[in-house]
Amino acid sequence: MNENLPPCPKCSCEYTYEMNALVVCPECGHEWVPAEGGAEGGGDTGERVVKDAVGNVLNDGDSVTVVKALKVKGSPSGIKAGTKVRGIRLIDGVDGHDIDCRIDGFGAMQLKSSVVKKA
């Protein structure tokens, strides 16, 4: 059962188990996300990967297209599906808003990566 699960990075316990998307150590209680591609466990402090609605990896400076109509507080219309947004920046936002951008006619705003598609 534990053949493919890594040992705990804190206490080196080999009796780890999966709980949803996390791996948990029963001895010290440490929880972590397992490395995807078999990278070295200790040096895995790299960038987080942000994917769009269809699974494409997004990077700073990419152009994206909004895939569904979005309501904007204080605006009678909203952002229509198909609106192109250029020069995005990836951020660690709140409530899943991980894209910082400027949209013509609306100004600066934050979007969720799940409502955009790489152009």
Run of H or E including 10? none
1 has a pLDDT exceeding 80:
no
Cα–Cα distance measured from residue 6 to residue 40, given in angstroms and rounded to the nearest whole number: 11
Closest CA to 103 of 76, 70, 60: 70
pLDDT of residue 82: 95
pTM: 0.59
Question: Each residue of 53-89: pLDDT tens digit?
Answer: 998 999 999 999 999 999 988 888 899 999 999 999 9
Amino acid at 68: K
Residue 17 has pLDDT above 70, yes or no: yes
CA 31 – CA 92 distance, rounded (Å): 21
Residue-wise pLDDT tens digits, 29-56: 888 887 654 444 444 445 678 999 998 9
